[in-house]
């Protein structure tokens, strides 16, 4: 089975801190995604990447950046965390198949 | 035009009943329509998917009905069980399963014993 692993299940950070969320997939997938999930708002795409060192903005990129130095790893960076970035963050990957996205279990980030 | 509108936001069904979740879209270029199921504390997982060249796809108790002319598709869960309690997301993409998914806002389903 494809595995997408997010390094932390829960994180608490202070306002203004630089925050790194890490995601690793083990199936050599080209495409990786970062979403945030908030009640009533569903899944909103922050950034995605089609290949190493490539990145594309999603629907809500403001306040975030990403890094993909290796194919299996996609990092989400909050340059200066703010309380409105308190959310569940989900990483996903997919390859060339009908089997859709594979999501990680998520990181619940609280910014205080 | 890129949106996928999902309803209802929440749904309570008795055990053994039928759960129905609806989604509507505007962009006729969408050509892949998956449903994802998310249990608490987990990421969403692909449940079932359909392409617009068929009107229905069934996998066990889960059925997608697709109405191309109305630009609507729905998930039916027959004989709903408490273990089906989860959040369900519909989605759509252009370019088949290789396109970026546009997700609906989700439906929280509770199946009462």
| Section A65-75 average pLDDT | 97
Structure tokens at A106: 């998520």
**Would you state the pLDDT for residue A97?**
63
Each residue's pLDDT, cut to its tens digit, for chain B (113 residues) gives 678 999 999 999 999 999 999 999 999 989 889 999 999 989 999 999 998 889 999 999 999 999 999 999 999 999 999 999 999 999 998 876 556 889 999 999 999 99
Output phi, psi for A83, to 5 deg: -65, -30
pLDDT of residue B99: 67
Cβ <8 Å between B46 and A92:
no
What are the CA-CA distances from residue B34 to residues A105, B14, B99, B111 (Å)?
A: 19, 25, 12, 22
Greatest mean pLDDT among A24-33, A52-61, B8-17, B100-109: B8-17
Helices and strands in chain B, H and E counts: 0, 11
Query: Chain B closest CA to A109's CA: distance in Å?
Result: 13
Residues from chain B that touch A41, judged by Cβ atoms under 8 A, are 105
**Does B44 contact A40 at a Cβ distance shorter than 8 Å?**
no
A94–B97 C-beta distance less than 8 A: yes
pLDDT over 90 (residue A20): yes
- Supply the pLDDT for residue A99: 64
CB contacts of A60 in chain B (<8 Å) are none
> Among all chains, which residue has been given the structure tokens 């990447």?
A49
- Letter string b/e over residues B15-54, b meaning 16 or more CB atoms within 10 A of that residue's CB: eeeebbbbbbbeeeebbbbbbbbbeeeebbebbbbbebee
Percent of chain A exceeding pLDDT 70 equals 95
């Amino acid at each position: 089975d494809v595995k997408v692993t997010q390094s932390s299940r829960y994180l608490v950070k202070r306002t203004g801190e630089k925050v790194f969320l890490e995601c690793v997939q083990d199936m050599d997938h080209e495409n990786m995604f970062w979403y945030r999930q908030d009640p009533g708002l569903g899944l909103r795409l922050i950034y995605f990447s089609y290949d190493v060192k490539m990145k594309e903005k999603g629907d809500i990129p403001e306040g975030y950046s990403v890094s993909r130095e290796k194919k299996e790893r996609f990092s989400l960076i909050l340059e200066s965390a703010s309380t409105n970035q308190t959310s569940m963050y989900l990483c996903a990957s997919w390859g060339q198949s009908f089997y859709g996205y594979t999501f990680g279990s998520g990181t619940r980030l609280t910014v205080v | 035009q890129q949106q996928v509108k999902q309803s209802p936001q929440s749904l309570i069904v008795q055990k053994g009943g039928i759960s129905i979740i609806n989604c509507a879209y505007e962009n006729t270029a969408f050509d892949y329509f998956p449903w994802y199921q998310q249990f608490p504390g987990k990421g969403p997982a692909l449940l079932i998917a359909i392409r617009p060249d068929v009107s229905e796809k069934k996998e066990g108790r889960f059925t997608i009905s697709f109405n191309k002319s109305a630009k609507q598709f729905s998930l039916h869960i027959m004989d709903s069980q408490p273990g089906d309690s989860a959040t369900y997301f519909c989605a759509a993409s252009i370019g088949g399963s290789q396109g970026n998914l546009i997700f609906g806002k989700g439906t929280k389903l509770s199946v009462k014993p």
